[in-house]
Structure 1
Amino acid sequence: MRILTWLLRAALFILLLGFAIKNDGVVTVHAFFDTEWRMPLVVVMLTMLVAGVLLGATAIAGTVFVLRREVARLRKLAPMVSPSTRLRSRSSDTPDSF
């Protein structure tokens, strides 16, 4: 499994390196108030990728925290449930033959 993980990492590194080599042209990024920066295209693209990932993670973080609190609350309630109220499998749920 470790070999497979390292092979995937190496493949990803080679792909990103090739991407960076193919997109080495310098571009001008125009911002507000007549501000501009000149930088390689790959830097601009990877910066926007990271910004998008961070924005997406921030957008979903609230939902994750709410769900974690609910799981913690339900785990506290689990010992209070009596064995008679637990779900049981019925024999009619499984087919007799295929």
Structure 2
Amino acid sequence: MTALTWAVRAIIFVFLVVFATQNTDPVSLRLLPGTIWQAPLIIALLAFLVGGVILGALSLLGTIFRQRREITRLKREAAHRPASSTPLVPPPA
């Protein structure tokens, strides 16, 4: 199975390298009024891909920190709870 995974990864990598070498024509991006950014197409695509990944990761930071705080709170509660022989959840009827 790992050989198949590596084969698929290699095919995707080769495809992306061929795609990158075929798209080196310069493009003009007008990001703000009066500013023009000229770069090869693959560089522009890569820049916007990286920007999207960074924005996606930043959008998850709030959720990650909230979950960490909740995990810490639950661990603290579990540590202070006295050990008892009764289960926390009653068995289903």
Same-fold call, TM cutoff 0.5: yes
Aligned CA-pair RMSD: 2.4
* Percent of residue pairs bearing the same amino acid type: 37
- Matched with 1:27 is 27
Ranges of 4+ aligned residues in structure 1 off by more than 3 Å? 1-9
Q: What are structure 1's unaligned runs of at least 5 residues? A: 93-98
Q: How many residues align?
A: 91
Q: What are structure 2's unaligned runs of at least 5 residues? A: none
Tell me if 1:58 matches 2:61. Answer: no
- Matched with 2:86 is 84
CA distance in 1, matches of 2:72, 2:7: 38
Q: How far is the alpha carbon of 1:33 from its aligned partner?
A: 4.8
CA distance in 2, matches of 1:71, 1:43: 41
Q: Output the TM-score relative to the length of structure 1.
A: 0.71
Secondary structure of the structure 1 residue equivalent to 2:29? strand
